Amino acid sequence: MDFFVHALLVINYMILKFKVFLFLLLLTGCSGNRINQIPHDIRSVKKLIIYSANTKPKDTISFKRDAVYGNSNNVIIGKMGNIAVDHSGCVFIPDIQKQTIDVFKSDGKYIKHLGRHGKGPGEFTNIRSLQIRNQHLYAYDLNQTKINVFKLDSLTFNKTILLAENRKSFSKLKNASSQIQNIYVRNNNTYIADFTKFGFSKKFHKWQNYKNTKLYYFLNKNGKISSKLLFKLKYINSIIPWPPIHPRTVMGLHLSKFFGSPQVLVSSNNTIYTAEPDYFLIKIYKSDGNYNGAFYYPFKKIRLTTKSATEAGVYKYLIKDMKMMNLPRTWPALYKIKIDTKNRIWVSTIVKNMKVYQWWVLTQKGKLLARFNWPRNESIQVIKNGYIYTKETNKKGSKDIVRYRFKLK
């Protein structure tokens, strides 16, 4: 009897051991397949969180149209630039033609305009971007490499800050463009600036691609460069014919629809997020500029064809020449990234339906909260205080800024 009991115990032990072995084998196999699916240059990223491609959103999101800002009897806006919204809901719309900034109350009522065309204090020649920090509106002028600052409480001009006047002291900027393409205002009244190094040689030909590098530095409160190089991001320009100027003219242009653009965000606590278009990979940097980690989602990119480009609304003059271009086989994974008041990250991706972008709403560490589709031709400009602000074409053919309340639940 004891023999049979002992034998039974041995058999049960062997069965249990086999089950454990089989479980570990399957686990290793799945893990191995998952790792093998990740590109080599992603695997080398330090402190990387990898999310499953099959991750389901935690919440759903809904939208309700709420207010409209734009042309009225009191104001005619020529060409809208990228807007800003303050904490009270006032909307600031740059007019690229007039080089002024039109201001609207939260309910859509027009208040006044700020600035004018010119080269003096509070004047503009090329309004590049608007940002709001610490009860001030920061308006960046690309051509003059300066920021005009306006007080939000009185809607009056405050000061002008000239940027990067000490750039000659930084050897890595020796061959960079004289312009700062983008400026990011931090909540301690300092800045992040990007300087572009162009990668083309003196000899170039039509449809040639070349890589440019964006170099990012901190600027202090006075606009002077105050740090070593923080990080680099790359993007591609193409040499294309430009008949509107002259039949033989060629220009180096960034075809962002095809190649995508590098993206940078700064949160309310000065955390920095960066992304490049080829992967759903977002890197995180501390407020001092030191690297702090990254998160990644495996993402199946969509094939780039003339059909999909037509559906996406790409200019016809580009579509007819697509066969002569040296284009990637697929569309970018990411198109834009934005951040809301609660420091949630909103990422637009490119999916099979080329009439929309699929947006992902993520936590600061990349956990998926919600997904939704939004029309390509209604670009999301700002996400603030429970609202999204979009740029849309109205029935008259002009542009409006439209506000929608959103709910995550």
CA dist 267 and 333 (Å) reads 22
Residues 263-311: tens digit of each pLDDT: 999 999 999 999 999 999 999 999 999 999 999 999 999 999 999 999 9
First to last CA, the chain: 63
| Residue written as token pair 């589709």 | 373
What length is written for the chain?
A: 409
Q: What is the pLDDT of residue 33?
A: 43
The count of C-alpha atoms lying within 13 angstroms of the C-alpha of 39, restricted to the half-sphere facing its C-beta, is 12
- Angle among Cα 142, 146, 149 to the nearest 5 degrees reads 115
> What is the structure's pLDDT at 35?
53
pLDDT, tens digit, for every residue of 177-221?
A: 989 999 999 999 999 999 999 987 777 788 899 999 999 999 999
pLDDT for 29-38, tens place per residue? 343 445 557 8
Q: Which sign, positive or negative, has the C-alpha torsion 165, 171, 174, 180?
A: negative
Flag residues of the chain having pLDDT under 50.
1-10, 13, 16-33
Which pLDDT score is estimated for 365? 96
Angstrom distance (rounded) from CA 275 to CA 283: 6
- Domain residue ranges of the chain, discontinuous segments joined by +: 1-36, 47-70+265-409
- Phi, psi of 365, rounded to the nearest 5 degrees: -100, 5
Both tokens assigned to 386: 């429970």
* CA 306/CA 320 separation, integer angstroms: 8
